[in-house]
Amino acid sequence: MVIHIFMLFFICAFAGFLLETGFALVTKGRLENRKTMYLLPLCPVYGLGGVALIAVLGPFQNNWLLMALLGAVCATAVEYIYGFLALRIFKVWVWDYRQVRWHWGGLICLPFTVAWGLLAVPFISYVAPVLIRIASYFPLAASWLLVGLFAIDCICTTRMLHSIGSGRPDVACPVIQPAA
């Protein structure tokens, strides 16, 4: 069961990377490296958010308005906590909403809170059941291999984030920026 939750996390983190890459392509007209891990094409905040949405919103599948409201709150809470911890622990901005109207501390903002709420409904209604089925099909050995690769990547990413946060100019990442 725990390994299936990790696989859901992994699938959502990869889907988040694809979503971020597509968002950058649409809004900036060019491909950007939007991963937030050093090695793997993952955005773990989407993995955490996806698993949290599945856990929290599952019982409310028949109430789209409640799913949207709770989805907005849940996803924004995950986004805030993740961004806050990255800023406090590593002294880096994993995203920066300070230029967006109605932001709170640059870590969350009203436009994305609304977007997360609107995306929560189709995610829970249509996407999550498919992801849960996909996660259950992964062989145990492949799942553990991904857990190992992710653990190695976490170590590498932590080292990179400490380097960025300490102001070393030789380590750069287009999404992750040093705190001012």
Render each residue's pLDDT in the chain as its tens digit; 180 residues: 677 899 999 999 999 999 999 988 999 998 888 888 999 999 999 999 999 999 999 899 999 999 999 999 999 999 999 999 988 988 888 889 999 999 999 999 999 999 999 999 999 999 999 999 999 998 999 999 999 999 999 999 998 887 776 554 444 344 454 454
Q: Give the up-direction half-sphere exposure of residue 129: CA atoms within 13 A in the CB hemisphere.
A: 5
Structural domains of the chain, count: 1
Asked if residue 16 lies in contact with residue 46, where contact means CB atoms within 8 angstroms, the answer is yes
Is the pTM higher than 0.85? yes
Give the structural domain span for 86.
2-178
Q: CA nearest 79: which of 106, 107, 43, 51?
A: 107
How far apart, in whole angstroms, are the C-alpha atoms of residue 8 and residue 34? 20
Cα separation of 87 and 112, whole Å? 19
